[in-house]
């Protein structure tokens, strides 16, 4: 029996935030609207993050 599974349930967070959401939430306040032209990501943004990126005025995704 795998005892690690029980421990994982205790440590697992109930809510997560994607890296794109985190960047837009906490960094967009510090950046002027005319400077918000690109974002760099490691993987293709999910369907939930794409509208947020567009709404933030970001034109290019790398």
Active site residues: 20
CB distance 39 to 53 below 8 Å: yes
**Owner of token pair 């990501």:** 41
């Amino acid at each position: 029996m795998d005892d690690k599974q029980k421990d994982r349930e205790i440590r697992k967070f109930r809510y997560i935030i994607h890296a794109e959401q985190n960047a837009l939430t906490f960094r967009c306040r510090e950046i002027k609207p005319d400077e918000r032209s690109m974002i760099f990501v490691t993987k293709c943004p999910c369907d939930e993050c794409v509208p947020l990126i567009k709404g933030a005025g970001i034109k290019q995704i790398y």
